Amino acid sequence: MGEPRAIICLPTYEERENLEPMVAAIHAQLPAAEILVVDDNSPDGTGVLADQLATRDISLHVLHRPGKQGLGRAYLAAFAWALERRYDLVLEMDADFSHDPRHLPSILRAARDADVVLGSRYVPGGRTVDWGLARKLVSRGGSLYARTILGLRVRDLTGGFKCFRREVLEAVDLPSVASTGYAFQIELTFRAIRLGFRVVEVPIVFADRRVGRSKMSRGIVAEAMRNVWAMRFSPFGRGAAAARRPTRGPATPGPATPGPRPSRA
Ligand SMILES: Nc1nc2c(ncn2[C@@H]2O[C@H](COP(=O)(O)OP(=O)(O)O)[C@@H](O)[C@H]2O)c(=O)[nH]1
Ligand SMILES: [Mg+2]
């Protein structure tokens, strides 16, 4: 058995200036990994640029979608694409340099004995830079809200710098995930934990995007606040954790700080 095959899903909507440096920075960290750009027909031509880059980079793939349908839909399409092609590890990260590719190696290391790895701003060693107080409160408060209502021990539930073992994506019943935006991130982690998968957090430093503007909105925050309640009372995967646990054995503790933290429901 060699190294696991990894694919990094990079959703883009108007990321023309970030795309090429981002692809180069990922390759610099993980020369063997492949990248899938999922573009929602960006008016600024990001998808066209991705195609151009792919003609001279065989590890770069491009999935075009007809129009902007939100981050959650883009990820679902990317995951289906990756599962069809039998990748072992499926990663997601933003294309705007908020998620620094230098964290990729520690995320992949943690994936050796975890089913889901979360790049986390809120474990020791993790942080946000250049954020005002209001944004900090919304993000911290959002994770605290979701974690309390869902009864989870995960510190950073809304982040989108993650790695899934393929078995997790096969088990979570992707077509029934309705959330987009931040709720999408919460829902996938919640479902994985309900199914008894092992979720760990590794510290990341989250920076502001390099260029361009955010596509997130107030509506996306409101969706997350509502959907958390729907998740809590949904029958999805109830009881599955207990059934899975014995087959996977006890959780192995990660290294001392900073390192992966087991966070099971
Ligand atoms: N394909 C696709 N990508 C999106 C969409 N919305 C946001 N993105 C991408 O998702 C990532 C995170 O979005 P961003 O606007 O930076 O959100 P923020 O970091 O929460 O402000 C970036 O790479 C965006 O280009 C969408 O509707 N479709
Ligand atoms: Mg961003």
Q: In the predicted model, what is the mean pLDDT of the chain?
A: 91
What is the position in ligand 1's atom list of the atom closest to the CA of 182? 20
Q: What is the pLDDT of residue 245?
A: 56
What is the position in ligand 1's atom list of the atom closest to the CA of 213? 15
What does the block give as tokens for 27? Answer: 């390759």
What is the residue type of 55?
A: T
What's the pTM value of the predicted model, to 2 decimals? 0.91
Per residue in 172-200, pLDDT (tens digit) is: 999 999 888 889 999 999 999 999 999 99
**CATH for the stretch 6-238:** 3.90.550.10
Q: What is the pLDDT of residue 220?
A: 85
225 Cβ neighbours under 8 A, 6+ residues apart: 142, 145
Q: Which of 44, 61, 79, 96 to mutate to test the pocket of ligand 1 (most atoms within 8 A of CB)?
A: 96
Q: What is the pLDDT of residue 247?
A: 45
Q: Where are the domains of the chain?
A: 6-238
What is the position in ligand 1's atom list of the atom closest to the CA of 14? 25
Strand-pair partners of 63: 38
DSSP H helical ranges for the chain: 16-29, 46-55, 71-84, 104-110, 133-150, 166-171, 181-194, 218-232, 240-248
Helices 181-194 and 71-84 pack at an angle, to 10 degrees, of 50
What separation in Å is there between the alpha carbon of 9 and the centre of ligand 2?
15
Q: What is the pLDDT of residue 265?
A: 44
Q: What is the pLDDT of residue 2?
A: 76
Tell me which residue has tokens 């509506």: 219
Lowest-confidence pick of 39-48, 89-98, 130-139, 255-264? 255-264
Per-residue pLDDT band at 262 (split at 50, 70, 90): low
What separation in Å is there between the alpha carbon of 11 and the centre of ligand 2?
11
Percent of the chain with pLDDT over 90: 77
What separation in Å is there between the alpha carbon of 68 and the centre of ligand 1?
10
Phi-psi group of 97: left, alpha or beta (phi > 0 → left; psi -120 to 50 → alpha; rest → beta): left
Return the closest-CA partner of residue 34 out of 48, 49, 23, 45.
23
Per residue in 88-144, pLDDT (tens digit) is: 999 999 999 999 999 999 999 999 999 999 999 999 999 999 899 998 999 999 999
